[in-house]
Amino acid sequence: MRPILPILPLAVLFACGGVKLDEEVASEPAATAGPTADEAAAWVKTNDEKLKALYIARETAYWAYETDIKPETEALASSTAEAAMAYLTTAIPEAAAFNDVTGLDPDVARQLGLMKIQATLPAPSAAEKRKRLAEIATKLGGLYGKGKFCKTDDDCKDLGQLEEIIGTSRNPDELLEAWEGWRTLSPQMRPIYQEFVALGNEGATEIGYADMGVGWRSGYDMTPQEFEVEIDRLWAQVQPLYEQLHCHVRAELNEQYGDDVVATSGSIPAHLLGNMWRQSWDNLYPMLEPFPGEPSLDVTAALVDKGYEDQKMVKAAEGFFTSMGLDPLPQTFWENSMFTKPEGKEVVCHASAWDLSYNNDLRIKMCIKPTMEDYVTIHHELGHNYYFQNYYTLPVLYQSGANDGFHEAIGDAIALSITPSYLNKVGLLDTVSESEHAVINKQMQDALAKVAFLPFGRMIDQWRWDVFNGKISTEEYNKGWWELRAKYQGIAPPSERSEDLFDPGAKYHIPGNTPYIRYFLAHVLQFQFHKAMCEASGHEGPLHTCSVYESKEAGAKLKAMLEMGASKPWPDALEALTDTREMSADPLVEYFAPLAGYLAEQNKDRTCGWTE
């Protein structure tokens, strides 16, 4: 992903008054001439130049900060934040002056409209508050990036080490210690996060939104209310499949750990699911493999044996995109990216994709390990880079996905083509089995990553929307968090979680202020994109067997959508690839049809669900 940095306020076209650009003195009564379409076009052009310069400064400062966390880089990142906020504080009313102008060029009108969704953090107009908000936003990210759990002064573990325990251990006491240990970093975030919310909401109110959440939900070419209905519609399409997966996983965990650790009914304790945040359960696959003895689809061993270290793994992912007719990555990508954690530096290892100059200065930042998980993640990140590469000549306001779910879905749609036949073709898998058992095994592995994620992707922003609008009070941050986790995921905390804690802050995207509903949308859209590219490639057979590797036809359809960026409403971009204007989870359900049949058989004598 391109890091969504918490430093640029939302710019919006006010529905109420604006700045008067020209005034005429007339006879009684005095009249004021409004701005013209030509002035609007000139303003948009100048704004594009200024905004691009600010964005470049922002990306450059935050790249330096996230690849070398120290006071100097933190101060620079914070100062670029404040400068950007200061500019947009004046740009907002200037843009609002063109609200009632008639005869606007459609391109000018769209760029004016897109000003309101350029960032996630609206700043108050008061300089001291704007400065404080920039400092808090930077501080929150730094606290997460430097976080460690220390049992003693000589026994400290960072996130990567704690994730290793969560992902591999089957000792519930060890899992609980690692799970609770990571959450010792976030209580210190709680008071400044409360201040962060108050200042951000103040900024949102100043620019015409009821709160920050309303601003976030306004960026989808529909009203915030219509967007919430759309999210609920998509969730309803996938919820039955998730509930069947949850039912099966809970039963298998009970078999592994016994009734004292996990019951056969109700919610699943959070520390048992193989992931620090319970967003993906794929580390449980060895325990849940439906048919042991089938050839393993985890090519981690092959990556190690064949010397797939950092850049070689990235080269392999690039090769998938170029096989579809897309251009190679620029040489500067290989020179400037961070592929491994530098010695002696504190960095944010969370994978992200960048274009520092908004002019094809492509990079990724990642601490790559030769694992199947990282192999897939690299394909995801390069999906962002290829989006950047195909729209970087557009005005800066168009250098974005058609909606934010699109950006996240591209690489994951490509990763769906990492099939056994593809892995065999590139030399990472010796044996390809097309048996029914092999298919179920592969689908279980995929579902533990993708289907398990869906309610997590749905609830993260629901928590923030409710925090921003006051439905979840500052005194009940943790209570609200775990109520939503229970409602959507059927997940419960493994130990008492008081309001002295701040469990939301243990997830990167909360202190990093990255809207999260995009990932839910991406997990739906990737299957819709995959099906469309498979149809373009001429694929025949079940959707889960398709790989678009080496399909120039699929590449051409994909490129047509990528080149649009945000220049058109997202239904136009969706139609360019899929020939439909409505998002749908039907392709996801179609893809997992074999697994759905298996789960229904396994669960036929079980009581599913988790609420009384």
Q: What is the CATH number of the domain that holds 521?
A: 1.10.1370.30
Which residues in the chain land under pLDDT 70?
Answer: 1-33, 93, 96, 116-119, 612
Q: Which helix (H) or strand (E) holds 491?
A: strand 491-492
Q: Based on the domain organization, do 116 and 231 belong to the same domain? A: no
Residue 163 lies in a domain: no
DSSP secondary structure code for residue 342 in this structure: P
Q: Based on the domain organization, do 377 and 526 belong to the same domain? A: yes
Tokens of 59: 């990306």
- Identify the sign of the CA torsion 445, 449, 453, 454: negative
**Could you say which of 70, 98, 127 is where a domain stops?**
127
Nearest-10 Cα torsion for 182, 185, 186, 190: 160
Q: Based on the domain organization, do 243 and 116 belong to the same domain? A: no
269: left (phi over 0), alpha (psi -120 to 50) or beta: beta
**Sole residue written with tokens 């058609």:** 402
Do the beta carbons of residue 314 and residue 368 sit within 8 Å? yes
pLDDT the model gives residue 118: 64
Q: Based on the domain organization, do 349 and 467 belong to the same domain? A: yes
Residue 545 lies in a domain: yes
Residue 318 lies in a domain: yes
Q: Find the angle CA(7)-CA(13)-CA(18) to the nearest 5 degrees.
A: 110
CA distances (Å), origin 460, targets 262, 306, 464, 610: 24, 39, 7, 19
Q: Based on the domain organization, do 121 and 235 belong to the same domain? A: no
Residue 199 lies in a domain: no
Long-range contacts of 541-544 (CB under 8 A, 24+ apart): 542/593, 542/594, 543/587, 543/590, 543/591, 544/419, 544/439, 544/442, 544/443, 544/591, 544/592, 544/594
Residue 527 lies in a domain: yes
- Residue 381 burial (CB < 10 Å; 0-12/13-18/19+)? buried
Contacts of 366 (CB under 8 A, 6+ apart): 338, 339, 349, 351, 352, 374, 377, 378, 381
Residue 56 lies in a domain: yes
pLDDT the model gives residue 483: 97
Rounded to the nearest 10 degrees, the angle between the axes of helix 310-323 and helix 372-391 is 50
**Could you say which of 127, 146, 181 is where a domain stops?**
127
Q: Which domain holds residue 251?
A: 226-602
Residue type, 345: K
Strands 362-365 and 352-355 come out as antiparallel
Q: Based on the domain organization, do 402 and 520 belong to the same domain? A: yes
- Residue 495 burial (CB < 10 Å; 0-12/13-18/19+)? exposed
**Sole residue written with tokens 């989870």:** 585
DSSP 193-210: HHHHHHHHHHHHHHTT-S
**Sole residue written with tokens 């954690």:** 341
pLDDT the model gives residue 2: 53
The helix/strand/coil state of 486 is helix
- Residue 611 burial (CB < 10 Å; 0-12/13-18/19+)? exposed
Q: Based on the domain organization, do 473 and 362 belong to the same domain? A: yes
- Residue 500 burial (CB < 10 Å; 0-12/13-18/19+)? exposed
What is the number of structural domains in the chain? Answer: 2
pLDDT the model gives residue 119: 59
Strands of 229-344 (E only): list them. 268-269
Residue type, 601: E
Taking alpha carbons only, the member of 353, 355, 401, 404 closest to residue 377 is: 353
pLDDT the model gives residue 28: 43
Dist. CA 2–CA 573, nearest whole Å: 19
Residue 377 lies in a domain: yes
Q: What would the pLDDT profile of 295-325 be if each residue is shown by its tens digit?
A: 777 899 999 999 999 999 999 999 999 999 9
Residue 103 lies in a domain: yes
Q: Based on the domain organization, do 115 and 247 belong to the same domain? A: no
Strands of 296-381 (E only): list them. 352-355, 362-365
**Could you say which of 101, 127, 153 is where a domain stops?**
127
Do the beta carbons of residue 218 and residue 404 sit within 8 Å? no
pLDDT the model gives residue 32: 55
Assessment of whether the complete model's pTM goes beyond 0.85: yes
* Percent with pLDDT over 70 in the chain: 93
